[in-house]
Structure 1
Amino acid sequence: MLLTEYQRPAALRRIGRSRLETWLKNRKVRNSRAVATAAVEAAQAQHTVVPSERIAAVMTAKLAKEVMALDQEIAETDALIEDRFGEHKHAEVIASMPGIGTLLGAEFIAHTGGDMTAFTSPDRLAGVAGLAPVPKDSGRISGNLRRPRRYNRRLLRVFYLSAQIAAQHCPTSKAFYARKKAEGKTHKQAVLALARRRLNVLWALIRDNRTFELTPPQSGSAAA
């Protein structure tokens, strides 16, 4: 926002901190006081006139406005995605999983249709998502596992990113992640293990048409 009007040090020195703060507040810029103070202080320390400064200022303003327009377009697209996601019959169930918001939920539906019967089992879904390792045995060596060569990387992204978020904010997932780290797993291995666990949970939730609960029912259903 600041770069759309005040690109040059001289302009910032003229307006001053107080008026710049008001200008930013009127445009709903967060931390307007801190931004105004930092900008004016930097301008007061800069008195060297750079060649072609005026041309550079015009270009900067143009680029800043283009970035703002792109941000607005992205926000509008996200809103459309959220609205469409909310129309799906399993939207509430999927979004109830810690770490899966409307955007990741929409991506999950886009790559699965939200219909788990198409995969016959959670193991099948895990294979499609690259979360079910396959044997990599050779000669006398056995027991080695690797990720399959063909899998849906976007679907893996949904489970991996949501697992990372849940490992920080969901008590059950945080405990599972910590347990895997204590077993000697790397961060990536622990997150993948958590993602696989959470895939089973999401499968069960969609199958039973129920939302996630930190304390699951006593029916033996898995917890995230």
Structure 2
Amino acid sequence: MTYQLYIGLDVGKGEHHATALLPDGTIVHDKPLAQSEPKLRDLFTDLIAQHGTGLVVVDQPKTIGALPVAVAKAVGLDVAYLPGLTMRRVADLHPGQAKTDARDAFIIADTARTMPHTLRSITVTEENIAELTMLCGFDDDLAAQATQVSNRLRGLLTQIHPALERVLGPHLDPKAVVDLLTRYPSPGALKTAGRGHVRARLKKLAPRLAPRLTEEIFEALAEQTVIVAGTGAAAKVIGRLAEQLTQLRRQRDDIAEEILAVVDAHPLSPVLMSMPGVGVRTTARLLTEVVGKTFKSAAHLASYAGIAPVTRQSGSSIRGKSASRRGNKILKRALSLSAVAALSDPASRAYYDRKRAQGKRHNQAVMALARRRSDVLFAMLRDGTFYESRPSRMALAA
């Protein structure tokens, strides 16, 4: 589509820089622009009145770029996104090496004018998708913090009592062990409490695990008779870390309920969750990363997710395919974890086993399965149909 105006926005937290170009490259506007709806609306309205239909291009469509995108759409302008890596490569083609907001805004506008194929479309997402994006982002932050705290807790246990860490470390995911450490945060406290109290504490949250784990704990405690320097201080920290880990997991549980409510309200969620290995969190990530975007083919979706192999060829010395290091990392992670979860499905397990028999390593076989499942996902989203396993389709054909 040909536009009468190309507006490049180098977005910032408090102030953007806007550069507007005519189709022949003439600069008609080149000024800073405040991050406020009235200022954005006034500029866009004036430019439309003077020059007609336009395209607004930003370098960040979310966070600090969300308001300009929303205002541009509200006044009737089309919007697009220029990825940062593409922008940096295009910037090398322009004279000068200065890094200024004005230069970046000009490059964005000029790229939109001369190389429209480098742009990515932006659709203003529906309300529940925007809500899911925020909730999932917060959930990711909580998960990262929980992992950090868990690793720190295991590190302290290893420092003061390695044998005890070997027993408790692998069981930090169940709530029972973390709860036990909030009450008895040191080897000495566990010994003083005795088998009965430890077993009773564990039984509250893990009745099946409690007897065996209690015996393993006291066997580990008997292996070490010396007290490592700093054990007293470590106990205080371990107790606090255990409490912090409990709070983080409680927050994740609360967020999961909120995510579930939003996911259930979306019409595509039953379609996505009909596929083996796709749960609430994976469905939420598929909705936030796929819905609202246009993919011409299943290969396009796989390439966008970074799970399509990349062909590398140079003369006769370099030939082959390797994993892509590009793509949407959030979507790639969701698809790969979903593929692992789907290994309990007979059809998915058979495909995985076939790839392993061909000599592929575990990670390679999982990514191959994720690639295959992305083709199915593309068809499901395109047609709005539920998942059907291959045996079911073969039975219908027969």
Distance 1:163 1:47, change over 3 A: closer
Residues 352 and 365 of structure 2 are in contact (CA less than 8 Å); yes or no, is this contact kept in structure 1?
yes
Q: Is residue 175 from structure 1 mapped to residue 350 from structure 2 by the alignment?
A: yes
Q: Is residue 139 from structure 1 mapped to residue 315 from structure 2 by the alignment?
A: yes
TM-score calculated relative to the size of structure 1: 0.79
- Could you tell me which residue of structure 1 aligns to residue 261 of structure 2? 83
Q: Deviations over 1:3-33 (max 9, x none)?
A: 22223455444433223323433x4244223
Q: Is residue 127 from structure 1 mapped to residue 287 from structure 2 by the alignment?
A: no
Q: Give the letter aligned to residue 183 of structure 1.
A: Q
TM-score calculated relative to the size of structure 2: 0.47
Q: Deviations over 1:42-92 (max 9, x none)?
A: 556666556665444333222221121112112222222222222211111
CA distance in 1, matches of 2:234, 2:347: 53
Matches within 5 A, 1:86-105: 86-105=264-283
- Could you tell me which residue of structure 1 aligns to residue 364 of structure 2? 189
Higher RCO (CA 8 Å, separation ≥ 6 residues): 1
Which 5+ residue runs of structure 2 have no aligned equivalent?
Answer: 1-178
Report the RMSD for the aligned CA atoms in angstroms: 3.1
Structure that is richer in strand per residue:
2
CA distance in 2, matches of 1:48, 1:216: 63
Which 5+ residue runs of structure 1 have no aligned equivalent?
Answer: none
CA distance in 2, matches of 1:188, 1:152: 18
CA distance in 1, matches of 2:385, 2:214: 49
Distance 1:50 1:218, change over 3 A: closer
CA distance in 1, matches of 2:251, 2:200: 27
- Could you tell me which residue of structure 2 aligns to residue 65 of structure 1? 243
Q: Deviations over 1:159-186 (max 9, x none)?
A: 22222222x2111112222222333333
Q: Deviations over 1:137-192 (max 9, x none)?
A: 323468644455641122122222222222x2111112222222333333333322
